Amino acid sequence: MPDTTILILAAGASRRMGGADKLLAQIDGVPLLRRQALAALATSAPVRVALPLDRPARVAALEGLAVEQVSVPDAALGLSASLRAGVAGLAGSVMILPADMPEIDTKMMAQILAKHSEMPGMILRGSAAETPGHPVLFPADLVSALRGLRGDTGARDLLRSHQARLRLVPLPGSAALTDLDTPEDWAEWRARTGMRGET
């Protein structure tokens, strides 16, 4: 069994969506959150999903999937709260994937997992045109540092302090950088990709 857990961050508030929940927006009939969980599960790695307490529809979107759901009671405090809750109790490495990145698929996650097997001590970060993005895989020895994060900057300071261990993993197109935060982002992405659904 892989020693890497895929942690999907799904505790954000979707504040810029005008009242809609971006993680429930449908792509070809499947909510984005469920779609990304299915893609992660297809790698055969264990999958955790960090969820807020006040979004039961997100829990419902994961119904029947063999993912470990982790509640983030202090999700309003920022990204670091999700990371702290998500890595609690993990012994191995962790790949962090924001749930709002629809172009990250199973093949890309598997590519990063395979690279981890080649260089297990490195931080691996998906990239597009040499620009760092997501997912980000942290080796096991840095997971304890993720548990100590504070604020809404996530793992940015941790990445900066371990810059020498960082390796970029080029992913196809702009997948590593494409996140959908607003209705306009969704409309533009649907027009570009031809993906249908309700936002």
Range 75-112 burial, b when 16+ CB lie within 10 A, else e: beebbbbbbbbbbeebeebbbbbbbbbbbbbeebbbbb
Q: What is the Cα 106 distance to its own chain's centre?
A: 12
* Residues 169 and 125 sit within 8 Å (Cβ to Cβ): yes
Q: Is residue 76 part of a domain?
A: yes
When divided into structural domains, the chain yields a total of 1
In this structure, what is the dihedral angle of CA atoms 18, 19, 24, 29, given to the nearest 10 degrees? -70
Which residues have CB under 8 Å from 122's CB, separation 6+? 116, 139, 165, 166, 167
The pLDDT assigned to 188 comes to: 86
49 to each of 69, 130, 161, 187, how far by Cα in Å?
5, 28, 26, 26
Q: Is residue 157 part of a domain?
A: yes
Q: Is residue 198 part of a domain?
A: no
**Percent of the chain at pLDDT exceeding 70:** 90
What are 41-61's pLDDT values in tens digits?
Answer: 999 999 999 999 888 999 999
Find the mean pLDDT for residues 166-188: 90
Indicate if the pLDDT at residue 19 is higher than 70: no
Q: Is residue 30 part of a domain?
A: yes
H helix runs in the chain, sequence order: 32-41, 56-61, 79-87, 106-118, 143-146, 156-161, 183-193
**Lowest-confidence region among 86-100, 101-115, 130-144, 183-197:** 183-197
Q: Which residue has the higher pLDDT, 40 or 13?
A: 40
CATH number at residue 99: 3.90.550.10
Find the mean pLDDT for residues 112-128: 97
Which residues have CB under 8 Å from 163's CB, separation 6+? none
Give the Cα separation of 75 and 81 in Å (integer).
6
pTM for the structure as a whole: 0.92
Indicate if the pLDDT at residue 152 is higher than 80: no
Range of the domain at 24: 4-192
Q: Is residue 199 part of a domain?
A: no
